[in-house]
Chain A
C-alpha cells in the first residue's frame, strides 16, 4: 500500500497550503501590470519587418505614430507624435506639426527627420519589408520600393521611342514568364550565349548588377529592346544604368530616392510634410498603422554600422530597443513573455496609468481561457467558440463580443472551369444561408456579410449577395447544370483547424441540398494553404481579410490585377478605373461613392463570395478600465487603467 501514500500525502499537503495566496492577476493589478494573452511569439519587433496582429499589439506599446487611436471612438485621431495636422485643399499634401516635447525612450528628441528616415528605410529596396506597400500612398514611394531604375533614369532620355510607362515592364523589369524556368546564376560573362539571353530576360535590366551590365554594354543584343531603340540610345541607357548600379553597390546602398525624391520631407525639425500621389482625406487614420511609426535613426544606425538596409540587427533587443511610445521594452524571453514598462521620457507620461504590460504568447486558446478563469490574465487574445456559451452564463460581465473590421469570404479561382462563369459563382453564393451558418456553426455573434467591405461610418453598402436558393438553382441551370447535373466535383481548400472543417462541411451540405453539387474538402496546414492560393493551385478556398485602417480601400485594393493578395485570377479594367478615379477624387463623399461603385462591380462578378463580417470574442477582467469596443481592436494602452477589486 505504500505507493498509495505518496499521492495521498501530496493531495493532503496541497489542501493544507491552499489558504488564500493571491492570484497572479491580483498581484499584477496591485503592481499596475496588465497581463495580456497574445497568442504566439512575435516574429520580431522591428516595425518595418513584421506584418502580424500579435506583433502590432506589442508595437503599439513601444512606438507611437503621428496620430493616436481614441480610446472609445472609431475614426477619431488624437495627437500622438504630432500635435496638429493640416491638409491642403485637395488632401494631397499634409503638414504635421510635431510635438517638440516628444522624446525617444533614451531622451533624444523625436524629430521630423526620424519620420523621413523611417519611410526611406521601409521603402528601401534592399530591406525585406513585406509591408512596404502600406506607404505606396506617398508620392514616388512605389517607384522607389520597386526599384524601377529604368523608369526613373531613362524616363527623360531625349528621343525615347516608347511611353515611359513601358519602362516598368520587360525587358527593363523581370519577365515573369522567364522567371519560372530555373534562371541560370553566376556572372553573366561566364554563361553560354543562350543562357545569357535567358538570364537577362528573367532579371530585367533593372535587376542586373554592375558586372553584368558591363557585359550587356559589350553585347547589347542580349536584350530584347523595344522597337525604335537605336544603338546610340541603347548604349546611353546602359551607361546610365551602369553608373547607378555602381553607385548603389559601392557600399553606400543609395536608393532611387536620391534621384527621385520621396514625398516625405522634414521642413524643419518639428514639421513633417507628406505629399501623396492623390487626395487622401483619411490620412490620419492610415498613419495610426505601425508601418507609419517613426524609428530611432540614431539607434538603427548604431546597430547596423550605418548600413540601414541590414535587416536583422540587434537594435530590437531589450536594452537596445528605443521607442517613442508610452512604454519601453523591459524583458523579452522567447515563447515565454515580453514585458514592457512605463517610459519615463514619454511626452504624456503623466497620463499613463499602467506601470507595465506583460504579453504572454499562449498559443492554445483553451489554455488561455483556463488561465483567465484561474486569475492569470487580465485580457485574453481570443475565446474559442465552444467556450462562449459558458462565458455567457458564468461570467457575462467579462465576455466581450465586438465588431471587428474583417471579412470572411470564399476565394474563387476564376481560371478554373466551371468557376469562370459568374452565374456559377452567384449560384454558389446565393445558396449559403449565412444567418444559419453564423448562429449554428460559429455562434460568436458574427454578422452575415452582403459584401466584401464591412460596415463603416459614411460608406453606403452596395446591394450585395444574400440567401436565395431558388435563384441559385435557376442560375446554375442557366449555366448548363440543371439540378447540378454534369457539374464536376469541386475541391475546397481550407486550413487545418476544427472550425474551418465545420464551416466547410456546412457549405458542402448547403450546396448539396440546394444545387446537387459536391465538393471535396482539403485541409492543409497554414503555409501550404497560403502557398497554394498564391500559386493559383485551388478551386475554392475559405479565406479572410482583416483591414489595416478604417477606410474601404483596405478591402478593395487587393482585387486589382497584379496584387499579391488577389490570387483569384480575376481582374477588371472597369473596377480598376473606378478605384483610380476614387484615388484622384478629393471630395470625401464622392470618393466613398466611387468606392461603392467599385465594390458593386466586384459583387457583380463575385471572384470572392462574402460570408460573414468578423466579431472578436475575448475576455476582459473587470479590473481593466477604459477598454472599449473598437473596430480595429487597437486599444491605446496609455488610457487603460487597472483598479483593484473593480466591479
Chain B
C-alpha cells in the first residue's frame, strides 16, 4: 500500500512538473504580450515595462529562474496584470473564496445527487426513476451560463434577501453553489443509481433480505457503501475542479474567486499568474486523485488485497 502511494506521489510530481513547464512555454508562444493595452506602448518604453518582471531575458533563463524561485522560496513571481501583487498573494486571497463556494457546491451535489440516485435505483424503471434521471440529464445538459442567469431572474429578483450577484451577504453563496453543484449532482445521481442497481442484484443483498432485515437497514448498512464507489471515483477530481472555481459561475455571480483569474490570466497574458494557477490546480488535482485511490482502497476490501 505504502509503496503504491509513494509511486503515485512521484508520478503526480512528474505530471505537475511537465504540465507547468508546458504551460510556461505555451503561454509565451501565444501571440500578444502582457503589456498590450488600449494605448500602445511607445517603442522607447517596450523594454522598460518588461524589465521589472525579468521578461527581457531569454526563455531558458526565465524558465530556470521560475523553477528556482518556486522551489527554493515558494515564490511564483509577480502578476503583470495586477501591479505590485504577487501571484502568491492573489491566490491566497482568491482560493478561500473558491473553496467556500466549492464546498457549498459539493454539499448541494451530495444532498441532491445521492438521495435521488438511491431512490431512482429502488424504484427502478418506475416513474420516480425516470423523473429523476430526466432531471439528471437536464442538470448535465444545461450549461451554467444558462442556469445562472435563470436563477438570478427567477429566484433572486423575487426574494429580497437573495442578491442577484456579489459576495457580500452570507446568502450570496446559495445561488452560485447551486449553479456550480447541479452538474455534479446530476453525475452523482446517475453514478449512484448505477452502483446501487449493481449492488442490489448481488447475492448478499438477497441474503440480507431473506434474513428479514428491514429494507432501510439493508440500504444504509449493506448496499450504500459499495454502491457509492463509482460516485467517489468521480467526486475526487470533481471536488478539485469545483474548489478551484469556475470562470463562468464566478463572473455571472461576481464572486472574487480563482476561476476568474484562470481566464483573465490567459487573456491578459499574465504569465506568472497562469503558471502559478496551473501549478496549484495540477497539484490539487493530483492530490485529489491520489486521495480517491486511497479512499477506494480503504472502502473496497478487494482492492486493498490486490494493492
**Are A176 and B160 within 8 A (Cβ)?**
no
Contact status of A24 and B159, CB under 8 A, knowing A312-B78, A335-B94, A564-B42: no
A contact residues around B269 at 8 Å (CB): 527
Closest to A52 in B: B38
**Docked pose: A86 CA to B166 CA in angstroms:** 48
**Docked pose: A426 CA to B155 CA in angstroms:** 53
Closest to A364 in B: B251
A20's partner among B119, B157, B160 (CB-CB below 8 A) is: B160
A contact residues around B35 at 8 Å (CB): 130
B75-115 interface with A by 8 A CB criterion: 78, 81-85, 90, 93-94, 111-112, 115
**Are A334 and B82 within 8 A (Cβ)?**
yes
A246 within 8 A of B: no
A297-321 interface with B by 8 A CB criterion: 311-314, 316
**Docked pose: A2 CA to B119 CA in angstroms:** 9
**Docked pose: A418 CA to B166 CA in angstroms:** 51
A contact residues around B83 at 8 Å (CB): 43-44, 46, 49-50, 311-312
**Docked pose: A366 CA to B49 CA in angstroms:** 34
Task: List chain B positions with a Cβ less than 8 A from chain A.
Answer: 30-45, 48-49, 51-52, 58, 78, 81-85, 90, 93-94, 111-112, 115-116, 119, 128, 132, 149, 152-153, 155-168, 251-254, 256-257, 260-261, 267-269
Give 28 CB contacts A-B under 8 Å.
A2-B119, A3-B132, A15-B159, A18-B158, A24-B168, A51-B38, A128-B45, A129-B45, A130-B45, A312-B83, A313-B84, A334-B85, A335-B94, A336-B256, A362-B165, A362-B254, A363-B260, A366-B252, A367-B152, A371-B164, A371-B165, A374-B152, A374-B157, A525-B267, A527-B268, A534-B36, A564-B40, A565-B39
The 4 closest A-B pairs by CB, nearest first: A564-B40, A44-B83, A527-B32, A312-B84
Give the shortest distance, in Å, between A56 (CB) and chain B (any CB).
Answer: 12
A546 within 8 A of B: yes
Closest to B261 in A: A335
**Docked pose: A43 CA to B35 CA in angstroms:** 11
**Are A531 and B40 within 8 A (Cβ)?**
no
**Docked pose: A360 CA to B256 CA in angstroms:** 11
Contact status of A564 and B37, CB under 8 A, knowing A3-B116, A18-B159, A367-B253: no
**Are B32 and A530 within 8 A (Cβ)?**
yes
Q: A126-B48, A311-B52, A563-B42 are in contact. List 12 more A-B contacts (CB 8 A).
A: A2-B119, A21-B161, A24-B163, A52-B38, A128-B51, A133-B42, A333-B93, A370-B152, A371-B254, A527-B32, A527-B267, A531-B31
A23 within 8 A of B: yes
Max chain B Cβ within 10 angstroms of own Cβ: one of A125, A128, A131: A128
**Are B254 and A527 within 8 A (Cβ)?**
no
Q: How many residues of A contact B (CB 8 A)?
A: 70
B256's partner among A6, A333, A567 (CB-CB below 8 A) is: A333
A528's partner among B30, B34, B45, B158 (CB-CB below 8 A) is: B30
B contact residues around A527 at 8 Å (CB): 32-34, 36, 267-269
**Docked pose: A564 CA to B43 CA in angstroms:** 7
A392 within 8 A of B: no
A1-26 interface with B by 8 A CB criterion: 1-3, 6, 14-15, 17-18, 20-21, 23-24
**Are B253 and A314 within 8 A (Cβ)?**
no
Give the shortest distance, in Å, between B262 (CB) and chain A (any CB).
Answer: 12
A225 within 8 A of B: no
**Are A335 and B256 within 8 A (Cβ)?**
yes
**Are B160 and A371 within 8 A (Cβ)?**
no
**Docked pose: A562 CA to B43 CA in angstroms:** 9
**Are B165 and A370 within 8 A (Cβ)?**
yes
- Write out, one digit per residue, whether chain A residues 355-368 have a CB within 8 A of any chain B CB (1) or not (0): 00000111110110
**Are B40 and A534 within 8 A (Cβ)?**
yes
A30 within 8 A of B: no
Give the shortest distance, in Å, between B239 (CB) and chain A (any CB).
Answer: 21
A373 within 8 A of B: yes
A564's partner among B31, B41, B93, B260 (CB-CB below 8 A) is: B41
A-B Cβ contacts below 8 A, count: 177
**Are B52 and A312 within 8 A (Cβ)?**
yes
**Docked pose: A106 CA to B105 CA in angstroms:** 45
**Docked pose: A45 CA to B116 CA in angstroms:** 51
B contact residues around A229 at 8 Å (CB): none
Task: List chain A positions with a Cβ less than 8 A from chain B.
Answer: 1-3, 6, 14-15, 17-18, 20-21, 23-24, 41, 43-44, 46, 49-52, 125-133, 145-147, 176, 185, 311-314, 316, 333-336, 360-364, 366-367, 370-371, 373-374, 376, 524-528, 530-532, 534, 546, 562-565, 567
**Docked pose: A20 CA to B161 CA in angstroms:** 9
B153's partner among A1, A363, A370, A530 (CB-CB below 8 A) is: A370
Closest to A15 in B: B159
Give the shortest distance, in Å, between B61 (CB) and chain A (any CB).
Answer: 9
A376's partner among B115, B149, B166 (CB-CB below 8 A) is: B166
Binding site secondary structure of chain A: loop
**Docked pose: A3 CA to B113 CA in angstroms:** 10
Give the shortest distance, in Å, between B67 (CB) and chain A (any CB).
Answer: 21
B164's partner among A125, A363, A370 (CB-CB below 8 A) is: A370
**Docked pose: A1 CA to B116 CA in angstroms:** 9
Contact status of A131 and B166, CB under 8 A, knowing A43-B83, A316-B84: no
**Are B94 and A334 within 8 A (Cβ)?**
yes
B contact residues around A564 at 8 Å (CB): 39-43
**Are B165 and A367 within 8 A (Cβ)?**
yes
Closest to A7 in B: B112
A contact residues around B37 at 8 Å (CB): 51-52, 130, 530
Closest to A548 in B: B39
B252's partner among A6, A334, A336, A364 (CB-CB below 8 A) is: A364
**Are A44 and B164 within 8 A (Cβ)?**
no
A contact residues around B44 at 8 Å (CB): 145-147
**Docked pose: A363 CA to B165 CA in angstroms:** 11
Give the shortest distance, in Å, between A237 (CB) and chain B (any CB).
Answer: 21
**Docked pose: A49 CA to B157 CA in angstroms:** 40
**Docked pose: A41 CA to B41 CA in angstroms:** 21
**Docked pose: A14 CA to B160 CA in angstroms:** 10
B contact residues around A133 at 8 Å (CB): 42
B contact residues around A52 at 8 Å (CB): 37-38
Give the shortest distance, in Å, between A17 (CB) and chain B (any CB).
Answer: 5
B contact residues around A363 at 8 Å (CB): 251, 254, 260
Closest to A336 in B: B256
**Are A531 and B49 within 8 A (Cβ)?**
no
B contact residues around A125 at 8 Å (CB): 48
A contact residues around B38 at 8 Å (CB): 51-52, 546
Give the shortest distance, in Å, between A150 (CB) and chain B (any CB).
Answer: 14
**Are A360 and B260 within 8 A (Cβ)?**
no
**Docked pose: A521 CA to B218 CA in angstroms:** 63
A contact residues around B152 at 8 Å (CB): 367, 370, 374
A567's partner among B30, B40, B156, B160 (CB-CB below 8 A) is: B40
**Are A6 and B254 within 8 A (Cβ)?**
no
**Docked pose: A531 CA to B269 CA in angstroms:** 12
**Docked pose: A534 CA to B267 CA in angstroms:** 17
**Docked pose: A426 CA to B125 CA in angstroms:** 70
**Are B149 and A370 within 8 A (Cβ)?**
yes
Give the shortest distance, in Å, between B266 (CB) and chain A (any CB).
Answer: 8
**Are A18 and B160 within 8 A (Cβ)?**
yes
B contact residues around A524 at 8 Å (CB): 31
Closest to B117 in A: A3
**Are A3 and B82 within 8 A (Cβ)?**
no
**Docked pose: A17 CA to B112 CA in angstroms:** 23
A130's partner among B49, B149, B155 (CB-CB below 8 A) is: B49
